């Protein structure tokens, strides 16, 4: 009940069509659960590398490699960070990269991987709205020791992220998807637009006090919809490209 069947169909097509996906949400909102659910649509013949601080992402595919970070010893030696693992991953020839969560400067390494041939990658981030998710990803990328001009970094981030799935924990304790959005690079190289494709509609509470809600299309169509259709993927009617 966290999303509608038509939105599920759209997100499944996005995963199969190798769009880069950012799952955003607050603590306990179901980000990792959503990432696990989305990963089920990755074809089994693709090589997937999963990078995490602690093992939470549970992939069902057989052709996967799961890597975990390692803290330093008592003398501060031997640490292996997500950045170290990302750099090592690029030598493993992965079809997709899944990072459990971006929290720091490793964001820039993931962005670089996404725009240099590793499409279909996925990660999660702490944010409460798709707009904020993009701002936070940019902020984390700037925390890297790699010096990239702001305009260039903004353009690369906009080119890297295709779909943002926003999860939330509602006041009644239920978890659901509240927004599905697309990040569209602007005509100006240093800017981008976040277009909301699906948005939750709240309709009060039922007799048991649970929130009544429905995830509805906004009328906007994804700019890559035609690309997905050309790949033979099924889209819900509201996302079919106009003739």
Beta bridge partners of 50: 66, 98
Q: Where are the alpha helices (DSSP H) in 121-176?
A: 130-142, 150-160
Measure the CA–CA gap between 226 and 217, rounded to whole angstroms: 17
The model carries a pTM of 0.92
Q: What is the pLDDT along the chain (243 residues), one digit of tens a residue?
A: 788 999 999 999 999 999 999 999 998 899 999 999 999 999 999 999 999 988 888 888 888 889 999 988 888 888 998 889 988 898 888 999 999 999 988 999 999 999 888 899 999 999 999 999 999 999 999 888 878 888 888 989 999 999 999 999 988 888 899 999 999 987 766 688 999 999 988 777 777 778 788 899 999 999 999 999 999 999 999 999 875
Which long-range CB contacts under 8 A does 86-94 form with residues at least 24 apart?
A: 86/51, 86/110, 86/113, 89/49, 89/51, 89/113, 90/118, 92/47, 92/49, 92/65, 93/47, 94/47, 94/48, 94/49, 94/65, 94/118
State how far the Cα of 3 lies from the Cα of 5, in Å rounded to an integer: 7
């Amino acid at each position: 009940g966290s999303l509608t069947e038509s939105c599920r169909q759209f997100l499944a097509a996005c995963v199969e069509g190798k769009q880069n996906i950012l799952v955003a949400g607050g603590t306990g909102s179901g980000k990792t659960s959503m990432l696990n659910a989305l990963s089920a649509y990755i074809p089994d013949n693709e090589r997937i590398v999963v990078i995490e601080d602690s093992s939470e992402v549970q992939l069902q595919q057989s052709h996967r490699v799961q890597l975990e970070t390692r803290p330093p010893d008592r003398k501060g030696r031997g640490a292996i960070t997500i950045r170290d693992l990302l750099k090592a991953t690029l030598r493993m020839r992965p079809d997709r990269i899944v990072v459990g969560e971006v929290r720091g400067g490793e964001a820039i390494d993931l962005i670089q991987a996404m725009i240099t041939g590793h499409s279909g990658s996925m990660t999660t981030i702490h944010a409460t709205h798709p707009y904020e998710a993009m701002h936070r990803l940019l902020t984390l990328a700037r925390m890297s020791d790699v010096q990239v001009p702001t305009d260039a970094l903004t353009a690369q981030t906009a080119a890297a992220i295709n779909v943002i799935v926003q999860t939330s924990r509602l006041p009644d304790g239920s978890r659901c998807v509240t927004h599905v959005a697309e990040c569209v690079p602007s005509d100006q190289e240093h800017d981008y637009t976040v277009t909301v494709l699906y948005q939750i509609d709240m309709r009060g509470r039922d007799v048991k006090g649970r929130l009544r809600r429905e995830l509805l299309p906004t009328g906007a169509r994804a700019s890559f919809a035609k690309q997905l259709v050309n790949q033979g993927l099924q889209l819900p009617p509201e996302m079919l490209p106009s003739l």
